[in-house]
Each structure stands twice: as C-alpha cells, then as structure tokens.
Amino acid sequence: MSSHQEEANNKVPVTFSKALSREVVIDCVIETIMRMMLLSAGATAGQLMLSESGRLRVLARAESKPDIAVAFGAAIQGAPFVSTITQAVARSGHAVTLDTAAEAAQMFASPEPCNPLPSSVFCLPLLIKHRLVAVLYLENDHTEKAFPADKRAPIELLASQMALAIENACLSQILHDEDRQRYVTERQSSDLQFELTQASRITAIGELVSSIIHEMSQPLSAIDASSGAALRWLQRDAPDVDEATVSLEKVRTCTVRAKAIIDRLRELNRQSQIPFKSFDINAAVREVILVSRARIDKLGVNIAYEDASVEHPVFGNRVQVQQVIENLIANALEAMADTTDRARVIQISSAHSDSGVVISVSDSGPGIAPGWEDSVFRPFTTTKPQAMGMGLSICKRIVEAHGGTMWIEKIDPHGLRFSFTLEAT
C-alpha cells in the first residue's frame, strides 16, 4: 500500500464517522457510505441493500473508475452473484470474505453462464441489536486478498453506526416527505430554507426529537387559532354554527396530526434502543486513538494515555462511548491547532472513583473564556467558522443516557480537561 493510500485509510474512519453522524438525508447517507467504504477498503465496486420486510432492496451501487461514481437504485454487474452473497449474509447475519475468484466460484456454484467473478469480496450485515438494517457488498475485480483483517476491522467497527444512520435517514425521509407540503404553504421561503438546512443536519435522535417538538408547535398554534375562531362564531349575537363547525373540523384535523407526530416519536424511540453491555474502556480508548492517529500526527501532538494497559470494565454502549472520546479528541486537536509557543499535548486517563470510572481528556490548548463552562454543552454553540457546535451537546447526552455526568475544568496555566463518568462493572 502506498503511504498516500495508507494516510487516506487512516483518516477515513474518523472523517466518515463524523460525516455520517451529521447526515440525515437518505441519499447523502448512502453516498457517504459508498464513497468512504470504497475508499477505505480499496474496493473497485460496491453495493448497498436495504432490508425491507425480509427482502433486500438495492439502494445504490458505486464504482471506482478511477473516480468514485455512485448510482442510486442501480445494481452492479454480475447481479446474480452479488444477490447470492448478499442473501447469504442477510440470512446468516455474518460477514463473508472471499479471497480469490475460485472461492467466489465455489460459493456461487451457478450452472448459468455469468460475468467473470471478482477476485476478492467482503460483504457484511449492518445490524442494530442483531436486527438487519442493510447489507454492504464490496468487491475488487483484479486483486486477490484485497480485504485483509486490518482493512475489514475499521469497517466492521462502523457497521452499527452505518445501520443507525440509514435507519434514521429513512425515518427522517418519511417525516420530511409528509411535512414538506405544509412547510411550503405555511412558511416564508427564507424560513423554509432555514428549516430545511437545519433538518438536513439534524442527526442524532435527540436532535430529531427537537425537530419533532418544533413541529408540534404548528398544529398546536393552529388548534389555538381555530378553537378561538369557533368560540367567536358561537358567541356572536346570531351564532353561526356552520362557520364554527368548519373551525372545529380544523381543530380535529390538527389534533389528529399532533397525535400522529407523537406516535412516530414513540416508534422512533422504540427502534433506537441502543444495546448496553460490559466492555473494557481502555481497549475502546486505544481504538479511538488508533483511528485518530493520522490527525494527531499531522498536528505534531503528543498523546499520552495513562493506565492504558489495565483493564477497566464499564457498562454501556461501546460505539457511543467511543463517539464521545472521538469528539473530545477532535475538539482538543482543533483547540491546539494555533498553539505554537508550547508542546501540543493530549492526556487521556481512566481511573476508578466512587461514582464509577472517570475518563478524562486534557489538552494544552488555550482553554475557554470565563463563563463559557456551561455554554459549550449547549447545541449550536461554536467558535469555529465551519462547525455546527453539536459535538459536546451530543457527548453530554450520550454520557447522561449512560447514567453518568460530564464536566469541564480549566488547567493552570494552559488547557482544558473534559471528564465523564461511566458505571464500572
């Protein structure tokens, strides 16, 4: 592998994870997954299938020739072979790796003439809590053993995040389609533009929840206005029952609509239960450092991880906790980008305390302005021109969903320390 390719691969999980966590439009999610997966795996083609009522539907194919092109709703050539592999992966719930065309032929074993079989295949299920959401198929048509374990591992690590992103985007699409008409008629175009931009950025369930709460205000104000109108029609000297009935019909329509929004929210919440189990926080931190390594090295940051060799079992969702650590490292790196008069250092530690295990990420950057300690955890709070200001609010919500707390401390004379607790097991 060239060093250029190696560097690209190192960057992919972090960039990808970040990009994916901010996408909610289904086509953008699909495109992000296909591009990043082809790039990080060095695949020549790929296909993404959605699991719908036990069947697989093709979402898109991607080919690198040499620029990556994504075609929505189209299958790659050699469809019978791809279909055999993806069905097998969907049925078993386990990934399949084929290292040669001969292995592919053995697995395919079709009496029908077919296109030349690929030299390497990696096909994996995208699951949420053992439930199949989608299947990702990658192939390389000219290199054998193109998907060794070190290329597969980061992709497998991201599988559940991809599944969540696809599912959230599908739900969001339904929500968005249904509400689009109402938005168009009821809002000024500048408001609409703002809302659509916001909606397309809303990712995590919490943000989706906020947008649903926001939507609730529409039917509620309509109910307010229509019921007021009905009362006025009825309180006239000559009450107009017909007009009052029309207003009350509007009240009923809006009530049904508000109830539907609540039902969807309940369904969304039910589907997004994240599995918690015991895992070693130190191993999880080491993995995040590994995927952040290219950015750490690029900035010449010295990263120290205390207690790295000791096992600290904690209870929670490994991927979400890794998301928190990744965000804190990203913030520390961004904060130290302009630090030139002292060493750029990130220090991570994990230690037992009365409240469980405390994980801390410190840096030697400029710190924050006095009075900002609480604000940084609020959504859309940022000092960076291109950023959303969502990272820390998402982190805090994840930690609190784990029953933990998150806090911030200034380090004298320079830097900031973010700490959070997790339940020890």
Ligand X SMILES: Nc1ncnc2c1ncn2[C@@H]1O[C@H](COP(=O)(O)OP(=O)(O)OP(=O)(O)O)[C@@H](O)[C@H]1O
Q: Establish if 299 lies at the interface with ligand X (CB under 6 A).
A: no
In the stretch 310-339, what mask flags binding to Mg ion with x, by CB under 5 A? ---------------------x--------
User: Looking only at residues 257 through 276 of this chain, which bind ligand X when binding is defined by CB under 6 A?
Assistant: none
Interaction with ligand X in 308-337: which residues (CB under 6 A)?
A: 327, 331-332, 335
**Contact by Cβ (8 Å): 104, 80:** no
The least distance separating ligand X from the CB of residue 395, rounded to whole angstroms, comes to 7
Among 387, 401, 411, 424, binds ligand X (CB under 6 A): 387
Choose among ligand X, Mg ion, none what residue 319 binds, the Cβ cut-off being 5 to 8 Å by kind: none
Instruction: Give least dist CB 268 to ligand X, A.
Output: 22
Burial class (CB in 10 A: 0-12, 13-18, 19+), 263: exposed
Check binding of 376 to ligand X (CB under 6 A). Answer: yes
Residue 271 contacts which entry, Mg ion, ligand X, none (Cβ below 5-8 A, type-dependent): none
Show the binding pattern over residues 339-368: x = contacts ligand X (CB under 6 A), - = does not: ------------------------x-x-xx
391 binds Mg ion (CB under 5 A): yes
Decide: is 390 part of the binding site for ligand X (CB under 6 A).
yes
Question: How many residues line the site for Mg ion (CB under 5 A)?
Answer: 2
Q: According to CB under 6 A, which one of 392, 398, 399, 422 is a site residue for ligand X?
A: 392
Pick 46 or 391: Cβ nearer Mg ion: 391
Structure tokens given for 372:
């900002």
**Which one of the spans 51-59, 154-162, 219-227, 378-386 is the region binding ligand X (CB under 6 A)?**
378-386
Among 389, 403, 423, 425, which residue sits at the site for ligand X (rule: CB under 6 A)? 389
Residue closer to Mg ion by CB (options 129, 410) is 410
Binding site for Mg ion (CB under 5 A): 331, 391
Binding site for ligand X (CB under 6 A): 327, 331-332, 335, 363, 365, 367-368, 376, 381-384, 387-393, 416
